[in-house]
Chain A
Amino acid sequence: MAGRNSRHALRAAVLGVLALAAGPAYALGGGGELVIVANQEPQSMQAQVTYKEVNGVGLRNVIEQLTRLDPRTNEVKPMLATRWEQVEPRVWHFELRDGVTFHDGTPFDAEAAAVSINWLWNPENNYSVREMMGPQITAEAVDAATVAVITAEPDPLLPRRIYLGGVTSAKQILEDPASHDVHPIGTGPYVFEEWKQGQYWTATANPDWWGNTAEDPYGEIFFDRLRIVWRPEPIVRAAMVESGEAQVAMFLTKEECGRFDAKDGIKCIVKGSDTFLQFRLDYHGAAPLLADPRFRKAIFTSIDWEGIRLNLMGLGEALQGQMLPSVATGFHDGIRQYPYDPAGARAIVDELKAGGADIPSVHVSTRLGSTPRNGEMVEAMGAMLTSVGIPNTVAVEEPGVFNPRAVSKPTPERAYAWLHVQANPLMDYGATFGAHFSCGGIVSVFCDPDFDARVAEAASMTGKERHEALRALVKEGHDRYVVAPVGLLQRAYGVPEGFAWEFGPDHRIVAVNMRMN
């Protein structure tokens, strides 16, 4: 690998010369261009896209939020807001950082923040970020430096929840909303430059970023430029880091990761995420048998969840028969992953058949590229269902087919299961239930008004009380065979040796937390 090392040396030398020639425009930077290779192109550059990392990789470098999560402790920390307090059960006041301007030069003040927040959570806009919303959020300016965020019902999680909403230029929202889709104007350490569709998007370091001078920045600018490219082929992503064309390759497989670690010059960074892989079986299928708990049990116990996690999911941790790990509010330590019991499942199916029931065919789908090897996983699930006598079809669907369905509300026509990733950065079952288990939830799989009422009740509680109320609901959900968690994903990144990157379970690709040693 002498060739590569010398090439890198040359590259560093050239960059060094270039940096000297250009002269630093500001004190920080000098790290050259950072190239990140993602698995898919952003579908848009809206502020709302920042709530999921995979849909708009790198957008968090341009758009900031009121709060942030500490990479080490996962606690809520100040970002554009310096302080916040709950002034009433439904009202939170956020005190805004002084002297921050948007990239278009307009000042970041309470008025601008209110416009941005209202825009993001507006039911009219119906952005998918609403899957993460509890009670409806609205905002208004209190004074120049204070914005009030109001929720329809009391929401103890609000400071954490508000971390999901990117803040962008109010001027743009009001005057040129169309460009909001393709041209993000935030306050972040990097200024959006251009999005060349099909190729890349780029940003340059922001000399006027507030973090350059603030006492509590969440990082420092090392790289001068940011370039995000995308390649659907995992091998191409990996190869780009190996050949020095990119510094961060997203979502390596476990085996690739091992190979990266074994090789000189490159390494693999693995870290647990807040994203879990789940299997959901709709509760409102056209076939009445799908509502029969016995049949649902047969489905859930015919699949070898641990086998799939260990052999196919790759990097990840086990989940105890529920969606969130033990740190989450509402975690139930008394339940276990659904057991693999093909004999028992077959017995149930045979019994149902003997009783004259018509076994419906189950369609198991997953989205192209949502996580490595999801195609293999649904194929294995299909074969396992077949082996206990449950007819099925499996499919890896393009986003255009899968996405509209994934955000649909339960309808009687729905009689399918899907395997998909879900993030829950809030680590609280209140949010999870709101999205997945409520009749009005944007990605809901389950609808029981009685269950909804108890979720709403628990959501307004805090502390131990909240935990206990949610815990009971978790157990109930488990016993009704709604969602089978496959595992908590770990994400792996290929990087050059000497690349340092500090990030939390939300896996935000934030350049100011990266540097090259």
Chain B
Amino acid sequence: MIGHGLGGYFVRRLLGSAIMLLLVMSAVFFADRQIGDPARMVLGVAATEEDVRELRERMGLEDPLWVQYRRFVLGMVQGDLGDTFRYGISKPFAHGGMPESRKTLPIAAERLPATFVLGGVTIVFAILVALPLGIYAAMRPRTAGDRTVNVLSLAGVSIVEYWFALILILVFAVQLDWLPTSGYGTPAHVILPALALSLRPIGRITQIARSSMLDELAKPHITAARGRGVPITRIASIHALKNAAIPIVTTIGDETVNVVTGVIIIETVFGWPGIGALTVDALAIRDVPLIEATIFLLVLIVLGINLVIDLAYMALNPRVRLR
């Protein structure tokens, strides 16, 4: 049974994620067909029936639904999620009957690096802050320090992110003039948005780190180690942390996924040119193909994160056999 090993598991998991992605995108595909004629939406109410029909043909909307769906799925396999007729283009028929359009997936994929930078910095920062806090609290349970950490971490998950983001801009960019208000490009630009996004992960990871460390520290072998006179910080870092790692890693994964959702608002506030801001733009102009592309990538990222977390989980605890 072990012969199938990690590789087999990885392949199965990958297959599962692909099926998941297909399901989600199929749901998105059929949902999108419910919000009215995309061609009419592109051309506006003033366009003639003839123009609309021409664009519908060009968009493939005149085909039976199953043909459209098949094309959609096949396109997805080839990394083609269709064309936008709106983003960066305001009149599809502006060029002598040849409708202009652009592929959506490259437009959306171009935004990924910025989101990865922001998300990565956020999560790394959150881990660096949260782990020591959680361990600190766990080693002094029920003291004032523990209670403070507890309330602070709960406060972190209770705050409205964009509200906090605006306060950060006011304080650090305007009043103190330490950091740029918004934008993208230098390391200084990432600090405020990452700070705004990291509050929730810091809170959650601290909570989990604290409670799983508490569980671990209560176990007999730790008590025994203490009895042998091993210093408490060493106990925390070596003995307990290793065992407490699984719930912590799971939470880090969950929070990374939450950050992916969080960027939608935070990127807009900070003018951060990531996929989140693009999603908001696409929603605002009701650019259905572009929305599909952004959702595709966001779901792909989330599935990827889940996969990585599962593998980390397996690596940490080889005995755990997942379905």
A residues contacting B by CB (< 8 A) are: 3-4, 7, 41, 43-44, 46, 49, 124-127, 177-178, 180-182, 195-199, 229-233, 235-236, 239-240, 242-243, 245, 368, 398-401, 403-405, 407-409, 411, 442
Contacts and interface: CB of A to CB of B under 8 A. Distances in A.
Contacts of A124: 93, 96-97
A181 B273 contact: no
Contacts of A400: 41, 283-287
A515 to B, nearest CB: 24
A407 B46 contact: yes
A245 B183 contact: yes
B46 A198 contact: no
Given A198-B278, A240-B182, A243-B180, A177 B173 contact: no
B89 A181 contact: yes
A407 B281 CA distance: 20
Contacts of A199: 183-184, 271, 273
B133 to A, nearest CB: 30
A405 B45 contact: yes
B271 A401 contact: no
- Among A125, A181, A409, the most chain B Cβ lie within 10 Å of the Cβ of A181
A236 B286 contact: no
B177 interface: yes
Contacts of B284: 368, 398-400
Contacts of B174: 239, 242-243
Nearest to A178: B100
Contact of A404 (B44, B88, B98): B44
B269 interface: yes
A403 B94 CA distance: 18
- Among A229, A404, A408, the most chain B Cβ lie within 10 Å of the Cβ of A404
A394 to B, nearest CB: 19
Contact of A7 (B169, B177, B269, B287): B177
B72 interface: no
Contact of B285 (A181, A198, A233, A398): A398
A232 B270 CA distance: 9
B289 to A, nearest CB: 13
A236 B269 contact: yes
The interface size bin for chain B is 35 or more
B95 interface: yes
A401 B170 contact: no
Contacts of A409: 45-46
Contacts of A399: 284-285
Please report whether the interface of chain B is mostly helix, strand, loop or mixed according to DSSP.
loop
A43 B90 contact: yes
B297 interface: no
B175 to A, nearest CB: 9
- Among B45, B274, B287, the most chain A Cβ lie within 10 Å of the Cβ of B45
B268 interface: yes
B153 interface: no
- Among A180, A232, A236, A404, the most chain B Cβ lie within 10 Å of the Cβ of A236
30 contacts: A43-B88, A124-B93, A125-B94, A126-B93, A177-B94, A177-B96, A177-B98, A181-B88, A181-B90, A181-B100, A195-B88, A197-B273, A232-B268, A235-B169, A236-B169, A239-B181, A239-B182, A368-B284, A398-B283, A398-B284, A398-B285, A398-B286, A400-B41, A400-B286, A403-B44, A404-B45, A405-B45, A407-B45, A408-B44, A442-B46
B173 A239 contact: yes
B45 A178 contact: no
**A-B CB proximity, top 8 nearest:** A400-B286, A408-B45, A177-B95, A198-B273, A404-B44, A199-B273, A44-B90, A239-B181
Interface of B: 41, 44-47, 86-91, 93-98, 100, 107, 110-111, 166, 169-170, 173-174, 177, 180-184, 268-271, 273-274, 277-278, 281, 283-287
A236 B182 contact: yes
Contacts of B45: 404-405, 407-409, 411
- Among B111, B270, B271, B284, the most chain A Cβ lie within 10 Å of the Cβ of B271
Nearest to A173: B95
Contact of A177 (B100, B166, B183, B270): B100
Contacts of B170: 235, 239
B183 A229 contact: yes
B109 to A, nearest CB: 12
Contact of B169 (A49, A229, A230, A239): A239
- Among B46, B173, B269, the most chain A Cβ lie within 10 Å of the Cβ of B46
Contact of A197 (B46, B107, B166, B180): B107
A94 to B, nearest CB: 24
A126 B91 contact: yes
A43 to B, nearest CB: 5
Contacts of A196: 273
B88 A44 contact: yes
Given A126-B47, A236-B269, A404-B44, A198 B180 contact: no
Contacts of B286: 398, 400-401
Contacts of A233: 166, 269
A234 to B, nearest CB: 11
Given A198-B281, A239-B174, A243-B180, 16 more contacts: A4-B177, A41-B281, A43-B285, A46-B90, A126-B46, A127-B91, A180-B95, A181-B88, A235-B166, A236-B182, A243-B174, A401-B286, A404-B44, A407-B45, A408-B46, A442-B46
A38 to B, nearest CB: 11
A240 B46 CA distance: 39
B182 A231 contact: yes
Nearest to B184: A199
A403 B287 CA distance: 13
A318 B290 CA distance: 42
Contacts of A7: 177
Contacts of B177: 3-4, 7, 243
A386 B286 CA distance: 31
Nearest to B45: A408
Contacts of B271: 199, 229-231, 236
A53 to B, nearest CB: 16
A43 B88 CA distance: 5
A358 B206 CA distance: 60
